[in-house]
Structure 1
Amino acid sequence: RPDLVHLQYQAAAFGLAPAAMFLPAVLGRLGGYPVAVTFHDLRPPYLFPKAGRLRRLAVGMLYLSSAGAVATNGADLVRLQRVGFPGVRFRPPLAFIPIGSNVLPVPTEPEEVGTLRREVGAGPGERLIGHFGLMNWSKGVELVLAACRRLLDGGYRVRLVVIGGTAGRTDPTNLKYAEFIRREVGRLGLGDRTFWTGPLPADGVSRWLQAVDLLLLPYLDGASLRRGSLVAALVHGRPVVTTRPPDPRALRPLVAGEHLVTAEAQAEALAEAVRKVLDDPGLAARLGEAARRLADFFGWDAIARRHADFYRVCLEYGAW
């Protein structure tokens, strides 16, 4: 018999089905199993047509019926802190624990970096812009392509390396999106300037992250610590250009301009941000070093310790 059940909630991972919303109530209140929840996002499930407000209430119900909840970024933490229903005074414990990176840095010699750069055809003075992550509509890969086209037209000698780049499985539109991106590469005349690594093991991803000059990650909904590709780039100490989040708390404790560069989700704005980093080696070095200093914050040992403390609080709350 477990002392605690820990649910990892992400709406798309459950196919937007509402069943997960009832797990804490069923297991906790009826079965005597306290259920903690990590909210990887706060997207509501699908209930029925025109459910509207009921869908949003379902997320609040999942939190309030749990023995405790984890937010993976500061913006979600604030939203959960505001959850409440009339007449409901109790509030389960709430913690901020970031996700870790599934891609840890592997030692990579300069000779290995040189080999990878030659593999993509990069000559002396050429710069490699990397994009990493599963291919889906929220990643803004079309903005990466448009920004690269602007850089090339402006005289910058850049090549794009799409690291991984396979379509995500949680949304059936991902394959269509990947096909659209392939067509965009051709339409923009980037075929000879784009290198696709294809699926790679974690150590291969790590080496490519270290081989590119910067990562361009323009999430359409804004950067957030819920994004594993962003966390991977940071723990590798890479300069990152990404999109400005609607709520800056989504990046806390990161500081724009210190740990990464943010811009609007527009091709020219992103291209200008990339130019800023490429033209200033000192800035690129400072961004990488500041990101590397946060590696312990995203480290699995620290995350495990935070969870152990959180579980103790949840068990005390559940016993109450």
Structure 2
Amino acid sequence: RLSGLLPLVVPRGVPLVTTLHEYGSWDPPAVLPRALWRLAEARGWWCRETGRLVPRSRALLTTNAGHASVVARRWGLAPHVVPLAANVAVGRPEGDPRVRVRAGLGLRADAPLIVFFGFVHPVKGLRYLIDALPPLRAAHPGLHLCVAGGFVSCALPEPEARAFHDELVELTQRRGVGDAVTFTGYQPEERVSDLLRAADAAIFPFTGGATTKSGAVLAAMSHGTPTVVTGADPPDPDLVDGETTVVAPSTRSAGALREAVHRVLADPDLRRRVADRARQVVGRRDWPVIAAEHHSVYRAVLREWS
């Protein structure tokens, strides 16, 4: 939260532009009553989540309409909405990645393969996906889960990351699926692209629900990988069950995940449909376009400043 103090040390005349990648989820710190926090924000004194950044910014950007609506409600401001793009480019590997990836995992060429991609953290919901694996393997013999991503991040320092890794490994043993789960750790972009192209489905069981502000979700969609997500509240308008994705309606539910994953694995027509329509959604999201929109915002701020 120290970044929220930046405007206190930056000269008053220097314009600030703030991108709110996450916004609207933090409760006000309990040090003050909620009524006082609302008064501080109404007067433009202090933001519960960003300190002085939002009040002092000449322009604000968000990655989705949901965060923009929170900004409008709290501050009466209309931020620039610039959606994210996929965080992994679609590779062009030699040969069929389905065969190569399965061979690398020690699987049969026709083994069902599901993939989770991204930093591994408790809020990503992998506990519930592992809980869902035993009945899924009974319905889809040989099913394998590949968890592709590092555990250590700013949100999960190394001691906590190591403990969480060990917890998940131990959970796979308790559920009798230790041989059905591979934890790869951090992988380079080319390897992630291979995994996504090879998978029958990508699963994102986030405990807060998934949206297209996740670069990992967008990466799976851009690769044409049928994508299963947990539903967010409010739902993301680009993640439509049976159209652009398959949605597990409940978060923190192994049963809901089991049903959603089974639907996509059991129905080739559903897989093709959600893969094709997901590509259309992410096809409108392009990093050069995103860069150009940011450039436009910064130029406008500089013109006003000068």
Q: Which runs of 5+ in 2 are unaligned?
A: 38-45
Identical pairs, percent = 29
Residues 114 and 144, structure 2, Cα contact 8 Å, conserved in 1: yes
Give the drift of 1:313.
Answer: 3.6
1:74-110 CA distance string (max 9 Å, x none): 21111111113xxxx7x4x511112233311111344
Report how many aligned residue pairs link the two structures.
Answer: 292
Alpha-carbon distance in structure 2 between the residues aligned to 1:148 and 1:58: 38
2:55 to 56, 59, 64: 64
Tell me the TM-score normalized by structure 2: 0.85
Alpha-carbon distance in structure 2 between the residues aligned to 1:239 and 1:203: 19
Give the drift of 1:150.
Answer: 1.9
Give the drift of 1:270.
Answer: 0.9
Partner-residue secondary structure (3-state), 1:160: strand
Return closer, same or farther for 1:275/1:307 CA change in 2, 3 Å cut-off: same
Alpha-carbon distance in structure 1 between the residues aligned to 2:70 and 2:28: 21
Alpha-carbon distance in structure 1 between the residues aligned to 2:144 and 2:261: 13
Letter in 1 for 2:58: A
Alpha-carbon distance in structure 1 between the residues aligned to 2:25 and 2:281: 31
2:137 to 132, 139, 152: 152
Runs of 4+ in 1 over 4 A off after TM superposition: 43-49, 316-319
Match of 1:8 in 2: none
Residues 128 and 158, structure 1, Cα contact 8 Å, conserved in 2: yes
2:227 to 240, 249, 252: 240
Return closer, same or farther for 1:253/1:46 CA change in 2, 3 Å cut-off: closer
Give the drift of 1:194.
Answer: 1.3
RMSD after superposition: 2.6
Match of 2:16 in 1: 35
Alpha-carbon distance in structure 2 between the residues aligned to 1:289 and 1:162: 24
Alpha-carbon distance in structure 1 between the residues aligned to 2:269 and 2:219: 22
Q: Which moved more, 1:283-292 or 1:106-115?
A: 106-115
Q: Which runs of 5+ in 1 are unaligned?
A: 1-16
Residues 203 and 227, structure 2, Cα contact 8 Å, conserved in 1: yes
Alpha-carbon distance in structure 2 between the residues aligned to 1:149 and 1:235: 29
Residues 6 and 52, structure 2, Cα contact 8 Å, conserved in 1: no
Give the drift of 1:138.
Answer: 0.7
Alpha-carbon distance in structure 2 between the residues aligned to 1:221 and 1:147: 18
Partner-residue secondary structure (3-state), 2:119: strand
Match of 2:115 in 1: 130
